[in-house]
Amino acid sequence: MTTIAQLRKTALSLPEVAAHDRAFTVRDKRFASVDEHDRVHLHLPAAEVDALLAAHPTAERLPRGVRVPLGDVDGQQLNHWVRRAWLWRAPEELSARAAEAETAEAGEVGDLPKGIGRPATRALTAIGVTTLAQVARLSDAELLAVHGVGPKAVRVLRAALDR
């Protein structure tokens, strides 16, 4: 069963997301929220609404998206749909950067070292960090707060900066 905590974690791992109680926005545009009955409301384009409705019989079409009980969506599905809603509502430059990050390969982005791995490379690219100079401006805590960047990646980045 998926929880509000998982929704919150997924939403907040996306760039420039703000949490407002049980709602999530990207640059003041709501893309996901949870109502008092623990149903998640996702702002999605029509084709994606149709896909979600086909996959979840308990989902309901809304004027601006779809609503589905949190308990009827598994964690991976929720992650997918929340990301799709974010992409739909995010400004073009943010969604383009996120799309670019999905294909980023370790060792091929700016001067980021290959040793940080693909997840960290993609996570950093998604937030617009593509150089060691940008990494140098971030604390270890800020790096670790980026979903996809773990302690090993931080060690590798700090070692690269020391060189």
Tens digits of per-residue pLDDT, 65-112?
Answer: 999 999 899 888 998 999 999 999 999 988 888 878 888 888 899 999
Q: Percentage of residues in the chain with pLDDT exceeding 70?
A: 99
- Provide CATH code, domain 104-162: 1.10.150
Outline which parts of the chain fall under CATH 3.90.1150.30: 4-98
Q: How far apart are CA 138 and CA 157, in angstroms?
A: 11
Lowest model confidence (mean pLDDT) among 7-21, 69-83, 97-111, 145-159: 97-111
From 3.40.50.720, 3.30.43.10, 3.40.1160.10, 3.90.1150.30, which CATH number describes the 4-98 domain? 3.90.1150.30
Centre a 10 Å sphere on the Cβ of residue 158 and count the other Cβ atoms it contains.
14
Give me the pLDDT at residue 20, please: 92
As given in the structure block, the two tokens for residue 73 are 């969506």
pTM: 0.75
Outline which parts of the chain fall under CATH 1.10.150: 104-162
- Tabulate helix, strand, coil % of the chain (nearest 5): 50, 15, 35
